[in-house]
Amino acid sequence: MPTKECPLCGEPMRLRVSEAVVQVPGNPQPVAQNVREWVCPECDYFEEADADEM
């Protein structure tokens, strides 16, 4: 599992992948998107992951 150092507390962060359902205006069907973000389990800091990080 990839890790990254938290800028607030210095603990290792984890890459979390989840699915978000988004309603696009003009489209009657909701669209599911994969969301990747770095999450620190110690201080609850999070940030969006770059497209090239994995």
Residue 2: its pLDDT value, please?
77
> What is the C-alpha separation between 6 and 20, in angstroms, rounded?
24
Tell me, what's the pLDDT at 51?
A: 72
**The pLDDT of residue 53:** 58
Could you give phi then psi for residue 5, rounded to 5 degrees? -80, 135
Beta strand pairing call for 3-5 and 12-22:
antiparallel
Contact by Cβ (8 Å): 53, 35: no
Q: What is the pTM of this model?
A: 0.69
The CA–CA distances, whole Å, from 22 to 13, 14, 33 equal: 26, 24, 7
**pLDDT, tens digit (0-9, with 9 covering 90-100), for 2-52:** 789 999 999 999 999 999 999 999 999 999 999 999 999 999 899 999 876
- What CA–CA distance (Å, rounded) separates 54 from 31? 23
